Chains A and B, each alone.
Chain A
Amino acid sequence: MSPEKAQAYWKENISTIIKLLVVWFVVSFGCGIIFIEQLNSIEIAGVKLGFWFAQQGSIYAFVILIFVYVKVMTGIDEKYGVNE
């Protein structure tokens, strides 16, 4: 693989990771800690939304994030011919 291509691959990898980690931060630290009080003013069936993010919601989001990452990276790997 040429150095330019390797660099382009790495760039796409980094930008994918950054986007997903922003979501990761928002669902856990954002919704579950920093803005928990504000979200707690919204209630669904007796459960305060911020509380739910801190105790369950963030975990579901983490699972989804990893599988999205796998899917996106598989696509990028194929595009650059570095898949196995």
Chain B
Amino acid sequence: MELQSLIYLFVGVSFAIYIGIALWAKAGSTKDFYVAGGGVHPVANGMATAADWMSAASFISLAGIISFMGSAGGAYLMGWTGGYVLLAMLLAPYLRKFGKFTVPDFVGDRYYSSGARLVAVIAVIFVSFTYVAGQMRGVGIVFSRFLQVDVNTGVIIGMAIVFFYSVLGGMKGITYTQVAQYVVMIFAYMIPAIFLSLQVTDTFIPQLGLFATTTFEFHDGVRVIPEGTYLLHALDQSLADLGFTEYTNTGNLWNVFMLTTALMLGTAGLPHVIVRFFTVPTVKDARISAGWALVFIAIMYTTISSVAAFSRVNLIKNVQNVEYKAFVNGELTHADGTPNNGAWFKTWENGGLLAWTDRNGDGKIQYAPDAAFVGGKPAFDGTNVGIHGERVTTNAKPAANSGKIENELYVDRDIMVLANPEIANLPNWVIAFIAAGGLAAALSTAAGLLLVIASSISHDLMGQVIFKDPETGKSKLNEKSELMWARLSAVVAILIAGYLGINPPGFVAQVVAFAFGLAAAAFFPTIILGVFDKRMNKEGAIAGILTGLIFTFGYIVYFVFLGGDKADYFLGIAPTGIGTIGTILHLIVAFVVSRMTPPPPQEIQELVELIRIPSGAGAAHDH
């Protein structure tokens, strides 16, 4: 079957499954809508958490980022998995026992303050919108690359699908859709990874491929690395030959440390992850569920580390010193006689994610560390082609890099995953599967985030602040009208997310810094203190949250948007890792302020006692 029809088929079938699940799992109550009725099996919840967690960025970009970062990329791998250990031991069981619906719920009740709840609601909404805009953008990008539709049309199609199952099914619909999305996503990721591993190292399991030897004579443009060399030796050697930093070079360990910490704390503090543990029946299930979530995440994350190394080897092997014209026309072979068909290169060059400029005039592609295109990205003139058939760019010619190999190649990191099946000459259905997988990754994360936004608005803002009965302290909304508000909030959230996906503001590109940094600095400490420090009071909590939020937000804005100079970094910490310092400041300020102000009321201290004991969690109860 034609590639295009196969892609329509795979994406169409997966969408039909999601919609079918949404119809089956319709939410009948607010409890269904917020926490899927509180009866999700821990393994199913683990799978849903993994799908919720692994975003379009994990699926499409992460292997590419690590491919170019090498060893230091471990910060992302450790950071985005290690947080689950904190979640399992320090948050999930107690929050499950607490048994409410949202993170602001916990903050508002534990710190007996509507003000604290309001600050938490605002932070949840900002963090989640930053994150969701990137997901909607991801949906649009996958659509535009694989289905030949405009990015904006892609975003609108994505909105329609998410709309269907999150507005109708709430958390219940989302949870079971995410289970299906995890399955689609993991197969889509593993199949090309296994093929790649077989091709480069003749090893079936990609994780073990790192320990294997190369299956080919590796011509890196400077020397020939013989077949049977250990993969990472071959990679380090070729990168050194071309003037790159070696792959296993450890990088700036101080920033790796800070980034890893910020990502771990942020992971444990992200509301859309935390809320998933409200959906299981008991405290013990919450613990187990965190374990299963990490198992499902680990399958993909440990594969990512291998895919990153394989694809860097593959890139050099396939493009270094090959004649451009013959390469893209499919006329070349490797030294061992296997074809080296560069049709994929042309496809992605047409998409603007690859570019080549013949700096030394030899008609061959050279790949090296310096910038081939002044300004970083290629600016295509849109109409002209060069003498070899390449797309002409209007970038200024870079200064000669005498004595060294001059780089002539621009590679967008995203293609390291997306183009892999084409580079490896895999059958068309694998490429179709990747399209469905990328969409599953983006949609599952988007839905989880939208739900968190919707429930923060309907449950916390409407129910606990705006429609709060001042006499009884309870919500004036009845079950039915709160469910209606929840659906309405979901609709509004989807519309805003779609708008942000079509017109992405600058902060969306800083999702790692903003979402993780703020989740780490605002939520993680306040929840931990709420459980582990009985003496923590309202004053300490509010002071802590505000300190963490304002410091982290201010630091990122100053250095990313207001032109702050790298030389002025606090202790040399990049904005992506500053959440770590925000968290520490939060803890210190909260502790000091709480000890200088009166202890929390007796009933709050009793509430903390209760949260610490697992039995009697029952189902998440309503107010």
Binding site for B on A (CB under 8 A): 1, 3, 6, 9-10, 13, 17, 20-21, 24, 28-29, 32-34, 36-37, 40, 44-48, 50-52, 54-56, 58-60, 62-63, 65-67, 69-70, 73-74, 77, 81-84
Contacts and interface: CB of A to CB of B under 8 A. Distances in A.
A83 B82 contact: no
Interface in B80-94: 81-82, 84-85, 88-90, 93
A6 B210 CA distance: 49
A55 B85 CA distance: 17
Binding site secondary structure of chain B: helix
B207 interface: yes
A59 B232 contact: no
Nearest to A65: B85
Contacts of A32: 74, 78, 260
A9 B613 contact: yes
Contacts of B609: 3, 6
A50 B89 CA distance: 26
A46 B291 contact: no
Binding site secondary structure of chain A: helix
B253 A55 contact: no
B298 A66 contact: no
- B interface, how many residues as a size bin? 35 or more
A83 B614 contact: yes
B531 to A, nearest CB: 10
Given A46-B211, A56-B302, A36 B260 contact: no
Given A48-B232, A55-B77, A83-B284, A60 B302 contact: yes
Given A54-B77, A55-B74, A24 B232 contact: no
B613 A82 contact: yes
Contact of B78 (A9, A54, A66): A54
Contacts of A36: 71, 250, 253
B213 interface: yes
B566 interface: no
A22 to B, nearest CB: 12
Contact of B287 (A29, A48, A59, A69): A69
B77 A59 contact: yes
B73 A37 contact: no
B77 A47 contact: no
B615 A84 contact: yes
